[in-house]
Amino acid sequence: MSEWKEYISVENLTLVVAIATLLVSIAAFIVAKRAYRYTRKHDRQTLLGKIESKKAQLEAIESIMGFGVVDHSQMGNMMAQQSALKSEIELLKRQL
């Protein structure tokens, strides 16, 4: 029973603490890497969803303008919206 007391020293305790710290830091690195990948994937999916939404809005405006049922005051407003949507889509594509 007194044999294990010979192995307990400051050097051995320091070694055990260092190994435990190494294992915990490796585990934390792995978790952080997975969290980064998940966040990156989620952000990409969110941007793709926004791009699709903006494209649908743009197509809706273009189809309404194509029918010619809009007067001149509404036409100017729709052209401004169309231009804004195109620039937003380009900005979102650059963020990908």
Residues 60, 64: Cα–Cα separation, whole Å: 6
Name the residue among 65, 58, 52, 59 with its Cα closest to residue 93.
52
Q: What is the pLDDT of residues 2-20, one digit of tens each?
A: 676 777 788 889 999 999 9
Q: How many domains does the chain have?
A: 1
Q: What is the pLDDT of residues 39-81, one digit of tens each?
A: 999 999 999 999 999 999 999 888 887 777 777 778 888 888 8
Residue 21: which domain range? 3-95
